[in-house]
Structure 1
Amino acid sequence: MAGIFHQLCLLILTPACYDEFFVEFNFLHVPCLKAALSKGLGVAIVGGAILVKVPQILKIVGARSGQGISIIGTILELLAIGFNVSYSFVNRYPFSSYGDGVFLLIQTGIIGALVFLYGGSAKKGILFFITVLSTITFLCSGSVPLKILWMLQASNIPIVFAGKMVQAVANYKNGSTGQLSAITVTLLFFGSAARIFTSIQETGDQIIILTYMVATLANGTLLAQLIYYWNVKPKGKKD
């Protein structure tokens, strides 16, 4: 039983911090507390990301419509996620610091494919999803120089902001948030906010930290729109 407890703790703690807490019983060791909180948040975010966009996918499938979902915004979001995942993977950062991006990439790719599908083009939807998987595989293969990956990660700052603002402008023009899922947008906002802290603790990479700060601001804008347009129906729908 003690061995199982030890192995479970090492999912969150380093061996040194495990000894600090459970051998020395120094539970107020600040560096280890910060590291444990960061790792715990990272694992929780990765776990939550497995389902974070499922409500959005189900909402689109249930309505059989991608109304209100900006395909341009979706593509920009995919680029941002893909650049972050590949940059972090090649740098060999802990999976807990970027693993949520892997699941977000797959789910966002599905959302984009569904928008094409319900827009009347199944072939475009399939091609879209295959292109997403092929691109991320190439970027993570090691064939792209790290300097180029850094530049792509740096480009995430305007890409993330532009992608969310395209969706925000679409919401404003439509006078509603359409098929946007409140659950998904809320989780993305709090997830990106938590990632600021985990990135500081686990990578210390300034470009990644700045990217998540911008993402939190942009996600906060969409969350504010969801609250503002809460009882507004999409245009074209009547009681």
Structure 2
Amino acid sequence: MFGYEINNSDSSTFHFYIISFLIALCSMFIKMPQIRNILHAKKAKSVSLRAILTETCGHSIVLVYHFAMNYPFTSYSEYIFLVPQDLILLCILLYYNDRFDMRVVTGFMVYFFSCIFLASGVISNAVLKIAIILATPISFFSKSLQIYSLHQSKDVGQLSFTTWLATTVCSTARLLTSLYETGDHVVSMNFLCSILLNIVIMVQIVYYNWVNRKEKLP
């Protein structure tokens, strides 16, 4: 598929299944450090609400696309855990920004019904392909919003380096397994874009932490 020759040797298959299992296991807790930081501080400084909202849309598209295309469960299992954590984080951010109201509840209802409809298989593959192509610019836009927010505040705030590091590691591993299990280069490009921008955010976190600590020194 998509001009990629997939290796189906039993040994390679077993290794990639193990990697996929570890990715899914890591993803079960990947957002927890970020959520913990916000709940502990009772604020969400430097965590971009728009970035999380956009990221949730992007992750949901990837999940729905893989499900509707009947790809192997191991090729997208982490999104089963990522999307609920995104939604929890989004609710927390809306709460601490005093923006959780009936419009948000209505928006969540529309979101859930849209995901169910798209995953049901009634949508043509051509439309699904357009959706997954959009996932890459959505991911780019999401992380760009976080990069810009951090650049503006120049303060790490409640951003969790652990969450971003784990996300980068999982995305790198998923890039390899996605090529092996689906051969879908559009999906792979989405992961590659995420990896590069995740690295930028991690560098920002390290840099601004260093700058702030240096300024506090007598």
Please give the range of the TM-score, normalised by the shorter of the 2 chains: 0.7 to 0.9
Alignment RMSD, CA only? 2.1
Match of residue 77 from structure 1? 55
Shift in alpha-carbon separation, 1:160–1:107, aligned structure 2, 3 A: same
Secondary structure (helix, strand or coil) at the match of 1:229 reads: helix
Secondary structure (helix, strand or coil) at the match of 2:101 reads: helix
Pairs within 5 Å for 1:153-172: 153-172=132-151
Q: TM-score, normalised by structure 1?
A: 0.79
Point out the structure with max Rg over C-alpha.
1
2:172 counterpart of 1:193: yes
After TM superposition, give the deviation of residue 126 of structure 1 in Å. 4.5
Match of residue 204 from structure 1? 183
Q: Which has the higher contact order (CA 8 A, sep 6+)?
A: 2
Q: 2:154 aligns with which of 156, 167, 175?
A: 175
Match of residue 46 from structure 1? 24
Instruction: Supply the distance in 1 between the matched residues of 2:89 and 2:211 (Cα, whole angstroms).
Output: 23
Instruction: Supply the distance in 1 between the matched residues of 2:85 and 2:15 (Cα, whole angstroms).
Output: 27
Pairs within 5 Å for 1:18-167: 31-123=9-101, 126-127=105-106, 129-167=108-146
Shift in alpha-carbon separation, 1:113–1:232, aligned structure 2, 3 A: farther
Identity of aligned residues (%): 25
Please say which of residues 72-81 and 140-149 is displaced more in the overlay: 140-149
Contact kept? 1:109, 1:128, Cα under 8 Å: no
After TM superposition, give the deviation of residue 139 of structure 1 in Å. 2.1
Match of residue 9 from structure 1? none
Instruction: Supply the distance in 1 between the matched residues of 2:110 and 2:209 (Cα, whole angstroms).
Output: 35
User: Which one-letter code corresponds to 1:95 in the other structure?
Assistant: F
Instruction: Supply the distance in 2 between the matched residues of 1:195 and 1:114 (Cα, whole angstroms).
Output: 28
Contact kept? 1:113, 1:126, Cα under 8 Å: no
* Structure 1: 5+ residue stretches without partners: 1-29, 234-239
Contact kept? 1:52, 1:188, Cα under 8 Å: yes
